[in-house]
């Protein structure tokens, strides 16, 4: 499986970790602070830059396969 490397600032990493940890403990994904929304937007933008697959005509199939593989 190929890898993608994303860079986060220390502050982004702390905020993202706390958001994911809270989700892991509660099974509820909720934005409680504006910084959490910001870090998710930034992460989404970073992924959009790295993933040419997003623009592939077969994206739905690629997404389905990725989900199945990770499950």
Q: Write out pLDDT tens, residues 22-67.
A: 999 999 999 999 999 999 999 999 999 999 999 999 999 999 999 9
Rg (CA), the chain: 14
Task: Report yes or no on 3 lying in a domain.
Answer: no
| Total domains, the chain | 1
Task: Report yes or no on 4 lying in a domain.
Answer: no
Task: Report yes or no on 20 lying in a domain.
Answer: yes
- Backbone φ and ψ for 20, nearest 5 degrees, come out as -70, -35
Q: Determine the structural domain holding residue 41 and report its residue range.
A: 10-70
Task: Report yes or no on 5 lying in a domain.
Answer: no
Task: Outline where the chain has alpha helix (H).
Answer: 10-26, 34-50, 59-70
Q: Are 47 and 65 in contact (CB under 8 A)?
A: no
Q: What is the pTM of this model?
A: 0.84
């Amino acid at each position: 499986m190929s890898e993608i490397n994303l860079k986060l600032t220390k502050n982004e990493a702390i905020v993202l970790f706390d958001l994911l940890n809270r989700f892991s403990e509660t099974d509820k994904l909720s934005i409680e602070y504006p910084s959490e929304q910001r870090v998710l937007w930034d992460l989404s933008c970073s992924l959009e830059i790295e993933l040419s697959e997003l623009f592939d005509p077969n994206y739905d199939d690629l997404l389905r396969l990725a989900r199945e593989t990770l499950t």
